[in-house]
Amino acid sequence: MPDLKERAIALISSTTIADMSAAAVSELYAVPPGKQLIVDSIVLHTASATLVGLDDVDIGGGAAAKTPVLHDNVTALAEITAVNTYYRLRADTNDIVNIDGDDATVANRVLNLSVVDGAAGANSVIVDVFGYLIDS
């Protein structure tokens, strides 16, 4: 019987990123072999403190979150200025990107978040990925 993640938009992963100030790549979801991930939206919430200064975040596949790129140079996350705020990133309807679990390059089988220009403080945030899986 198919998994709900293959029949409905579902919470695919929930990842706590401990330090949004450091330039680093964090794995959000590794796509299983034989599947492709279609991302509907990404929600960042429950920040430990303000993310002011977080001026460049990339979300996508590959080692630098750019193969393929889902969101490039996101600057709006600095608007998370209190612990009870959240930010939702929607997939652009004109640029549907999938992460292929059978990609020839292993790193491209993973959805990553890359902090390029980090927040002013070492603050954590939870990143929820919503979408669904299809057969490759």
pLDDT confidence bin for 130, thresholds 50/70/90: very high
pLDDT confidence bin for 120, thresholds 50/70/90: confident
Helices then strands, counting H and E runs in the chain, come out as 0, 9
Average model confidence (pLDDT) across the chain: 88
* Distance from C-alpha of 24 to C-alpha of 1, rounded to nearest angstrom: 38
Q: Structure pTM?
A: 0.90
In the prediction, which pLDDT does 95 show? 63
Using the predicted structure, report yes or no on whether residue 1 has a pLDDT greater than 70.
Answer: no
Neighbouring residues of 75: CB distance < 8 A, sequence distance ≥ 6: 55, 56
Q: Quick: pLDDT tens for 20-73.
A: 998 999 999 999 999 999 999 999 999 998 888 888 999 988 888 888 888 888
> What kind of fold does domain 4-135 have according to CATH?
Jelly Rolls (2.60.120)
pLDDT confidence bin for 96, thresholds 50/70/90: low
In the prediction, which pLDDT does 26 show? 95
* Distance from C-alpha of 117 to C-alpha of 87, rounded to nearest angstrom: 18
